Structures are given as structure tokens and as C-alpha cells.
Amino acid sequence: MDEAALGERLMTEPVARLATVGRDGAPHLVPVCFALTAGRIVTAVDAKPKSTAQLRRLDHVNHEPRVTLLVDHYEDDWTRLWWVRVDGLAAVTASGADYEEAIAALVARYAPYRTRPPTGPAIVVEPTRWVAWSAS
């Protein structure tokens, strides 16, 4: 599959896992809402309950921009299993055109964001590598 087809497959699932690397070199993995816009993957800090607004993923991206995003599909019919992994370079943004584009893409994708859009920083991932697997 080419990147466009992988991007379409990616967008069929509502949740991804974002992997970052901490200052101590330890991996950090969190589920995220995401969207694909202009070839980039975006996610943002939203109003869901969190223990702090100073999320580790933001600090990690500012320290080490290399990230991985994984989207997978599971069902009991194992012939329908698949996953798409995107490696990329991420940046944190809280204003400007990239931020506005990220928030608009997330609002368009997720109904709850239409009444309560994310107000925190966004992470914009510029893909450098797409990898996929499918059982069929």
C-alpha cells in the first residue's frame, strides 16, 4: 500500500497509541485521539481529565522529536487484523497556522470536540516512515 492508502486505513480507527522517549531514554506510550491533515498526523491536549496539564508527551517531544504512532484493528476474525505504524518528527505548537489546522482537523473528526474543542497544545507529526501489516 502507498502512503495515501495507509493514511486512509489509519483514519478508520478512532484511537492511536503515541510513543515518545523521555529524557531518561525510557519509552512512554499513551492512547490519543488523532487526525491526518495535509499529510501530517495531529493530536492535541484536550479537556478529558488528566492529573496535570504538563503532560510528559509534550516535554518528551520538545526534548526528542522522534515519535511513533501506531493504529491497529482487532477482531476475532484474525484474517481481518491489521496495523499501521508511522514514525516521524514531532513538534509541539500552541498557536499559529499549524495549531489552527490541527484543531480544525480534530474538531471535524470527533463529535465531542465540536462542542468542546481542545484548548491545549497540539503535537504535529511529520511522517518519515510508514510501515504496515495485514493478515489478508
Domains of the chain (ranges; CATH) run 3-134 (2.30.110.10)
Question: Can you tell me the mean pLDDT for 5-27?
Answer: 95
Question: Can you tell me the mean pLDDT for 119-125?
Answer: 95
Q: Percent of the chain having pLDDT more than 70? A: 95
Calculate the alpha carbon distances from 124 to 24, 32, 91, 93, 112 in Å.
23, 13, 5, 7, 21
Measure the CA–CA gap between 95 and 58, rounded to whole angstroms: 15
- The model's confidence at residue 1, banded by pLDDT at 50, 70 and 90, is confident
Q: What is the pLDDT of residue 112?
A: 95
Asked if 81 and 75 count as a contact pair (C-beta separation under 8 A), the reply is yes
- The model's confidence at residue 55, banded by pLDDT at 50, 70 and 90, is confident
